[in-house]
Structure 1
Amino acid sequence: MNANKANGHRMILRRTEDGVICYSRTGRTVTSHWMDLAVPAMALPPGTVLDGEAVIWNGGTVDFGAVQARAAPSLDRARAPAARLSATYAAFDVLAHPDHGGDALAARPYTERRIVLVDVLAAIGPPLQPVLATVDRDTALQWYETLQPQGIEGIL
């Protein structure tokens, strides 16, 4: 299966009993930097864990500069870009879900997790959405050629 890779900020999104916690790739809590993603993620059932990227679209392309500004260590530096441009969470994977084995879901094949991911996010909608994915090589090549100008880094 091939999926697109955007030029964004890698992030784990964890829905707890009390709220949503967003973690950077290094494990730093960045929830307050991405409240426009954390608030809609409250619609996920507690125990859901997603892996993906926070992406900011600006004028039809991914704005990596805006993503970097939002991911800044200083919350004050992140607020101005957040007020101008909202983010999208492009989910690659679902690592846990209470209705699909909890944390044991991560050990299941990706093809099974992908079905759960698409199903779970269909009920939520934007700004939380699964990345595009296909098993068709020609479609993947077409995406590679047509999505690069929009800031999509590549196809996995």
Structure 2
Amino acid sequence: MEFPVDVALAELVPQLPTGPRWWYEVKLDGHRTIMWRTAETVRLQARSGRDVTPWWMDLAVAGMELPPGVVLDGEAVVVVGGKVSFGAAQSRASSSVPRARELAARYPALLIVWDLLALPTGDVRARPYEERRALMLDVLAGLPSPSPIQAVSATDDVEVAQAWYENLADAGIEGVVAKLGSSPYRAGRSSSWRKVRHAETTDSEVVGFTGTAARPRALAVRLPGGRTALSQRLGARLAMQLAEHLVRAAPAGPGRTDAGEPFTVVDPGLTVEVLAGTTRHAVVTVTRLR
């Protein structure tokens, strides 16, 4: 395996699947993070493939306890007041590195792990989910206790999963992910991984912006069906968070949406959530940076 790795993604569905060999995991509201324990150090990768180690250095230090060669997939989360806070995780990820370290001292992160991609003996992505999970639990059992690197809660009982979905939203549980026990770890979206979320949103790739990189007015996003559209005008807080990323990316020139609106093309490797109902419209509503 070479850094960065393409991550597996779940298909958004309206209800949990049932049947033999379906497993269910709580879906936490944080930042997707791949942890690479190399021979000498630890690297952390965002969903986009970007190296985000400096922003999550507390997790990188904890990862040094893993055997070299281990690669884990999970969610970096921050707990504030007993609740998983996406805002706290987002503040960490979108701040400067010195500020991120200040935030880490006040609110240490957890890496909630749900998959194992590699062992010291090699790549295990082709193995079934049930086997990878058992191997993952063995790896995590070898960490000192307590550790900020922890296994996600999982069950093969759909009634338990439904109870999680219905009762844990106030604790920062975003939804539930269902995975076939026989499924390999496959890059991209697959129907063998499905998610049910409380928010009616979908993920979209940022392909450009209007305004300036330091003060973006709107985003150009590529929707799941392939259409490119502009967002509504960004709120001040969201615009500031996005600017942190856009100013580091070199604009690639002019572009136009499917409806012909001009924008500045950029490839920062960003993903945002948009309201699902607005994806049918000429202008979509962005809710947050992923």
TM bracket, shorter-chain basis: over 0.9
- Per-residue CA shift, 1:58-108, capped at 9, x if unaligned? 11111111101111263133223212100000011000012xx411x1110
Corresponding position of 2:61: 39
Question: Aligned Cα RMSD in Å?
Answer: 1.2
* 1:95 has 2:144 as partner: no
Corresponding position of 1:141: 162
Which protein has greater RCO, CA pairs closer than 8 Å, 6+ apart?
Answer: 1
Output aligned runs, 1:13-28, within 5 Å. Answer: 13-28=35-50
CA distance in 2, matches of 1:56, 1:73: 15
CA drift at 1:15 = 0.1
CA distance in 1, matches of 2:118, 2:63: 14
Q: Which of 49, 74, 99 is residue 77 of structure 1 equivalent to?
A: 99
AA matched with 1:91: V
Q: Under a length normalisation based on structure 1, what TM-score does the superposition of the two structures give?
A: 0.93
Corresponding position of 2:108: 86
Q: Which has the higher strand share?
A: 2
CA distance in 2, matches of 1:73, 1:82: 11
* Shift >2 Å, 4+ stretches: none
* 1:56 has 2:75 as partner: no
Q: Which of 89, 98, 107 is residue 126 of structure 2 equivalent to?
A: 107
Which blocks of at least 5 consecutive residues in structure 1 are unaligned?
Answer: none
Tell me how many residue pairs correspond in the alignment. Answer: 153
Q: Whose radius of gyration is greater, 1 or 2?
A: 2
Which blocks of at least 5 consecutive residues in structure 2 are unaligned?
Answer: 1-22, 178-290
Q: Is the 8 A contact 2:57 2:101 kept in 1?
A: no
CA drift at 1:121 = 0.8
CA drift at 1:110 = 0.6
Q: Under a length normalisation based on structure 2, what TM-score does the superposition of the two structures give?
A: 0.51
SS of the residue 1:95 aligns to: strand
Q: Greater shift after overlay, 11-20 or 79-88?
A: 79-88
Percentage of matched positions with identical amino acids: 52
Corresponding position of 1:153: 174
